[in-house]
Amino acid sequence: MKTSASKLATLDIVLNGLMRRYKERVPDVGIILEAMVSDGIVASVDDIENDHIAFRTMGVPQLGVQSFEKIFLHYGYEKRDHYFFEGKKLDAWWYAPPRETDPRIFVSELRVGDLSEESQRIIRSYTDEVTSDPADSLDLDNGQAVDAFLHQPLWRTPTVADYQSLLKESEYAAWVIYNRYYLNHFTISVHNLPDRYNTVATFNDFLEKHGIKLNTSGGKIKISPDGGLLQSATVAEMLDAEFAKGEKLRISGSYVEFAERKVLPEFAELPANEIKRKHRRDGFEAGNADKIFESTYTTQTGR
């Protein structure tokens, strides 16, 4: 089903709003993009392909993926594969975009009911403030309203004590209780970059030359079993966050990811200038994603 031009125009407003605020929060984004231009990898930042963007949610009534996905399904995204992360107590789905130029979307959800009673109590003391599905009262045809919604508090500002209590059991839970729907990461597609930069391995060298710290969980390069999807990520930026009662704490914010999608074997003979997104490995890989989640974890940010 073709998405209307007006919905796509609204989607552009939402995506641009997400990226604008994300760049403000994650200084690594500016460093990387400016270095790509100054080193002659791309002529302009607009030439960089955004492979996917990711969000984190709480799996509670009125919220979670079932609420969040309504926004992007409205703009013509299509829900695809489900992934389960047993150790981290997460479910996730990815969504295919309406246009080849739009990023895929990856949305994860904490299985709140799988946590200890104390962590569930803390989380619900906040999320219970949301008494109805907020996506149902949102005007999805108003891009500015959706952009504002994705950056506004859904519940009261947490206390440092609650944040630290959650952090001990689920670093994901602590991240969401403070950061909510803020963009967790955006992803630079490296396979369309010029030679010398068009693999995750060579792009990692470029990043480290510019002082960027990479996630080392499972190795700097995460590779899918089929060898078709290679990913790396920065370590999340630390933010001076203000909690309830004016208390301050340095916590992890968002990060940048890099993806290399190999051409599928059946299209191996295609000339390079004819290769489109549909000819490359699509979707995601649970094993890769499991390690990339840890870009915001203290095991990485504390290195």
The sign of the torsion formed by the CA atoms of 211, 88, 24, 100 equals positive
Query: What domain range includes position 186?
Result: 5-301
227 Rama sector, left if φ>0, alpha if ψ -120 to 50, beta otherwise:
left
The C-alpha atoms of residue 285 and residue 53 are separated, in whole angstroms, by 15
Tens of pLDDT, residues 6-58:
999 999 999 999 999 999 999 999 999 999 999 999 999 999 999 999 999 99
According to DSSP, the β-strands at 50-58 and 104-110 are parallel
What is the reported pTM?
Answer: 0.95
Q: For residue 57, what is the domain's CATH number?
A: 3.10.180.50
The structure tokens listed for 8 are: 């796509």
The C-alpha atoms of residue 86 and residue 99 are separated, in whole angstroms, by 33
Tens of pLDDT, residues 135-191:
999 999 999 999 999 999 999 999 999 999 999 999 999 999 999 998 999 999 999
- Using the structure block, give the residue that is written with the tokens 């946590």: 115
How many domains is the chain built from?
Answer: 1
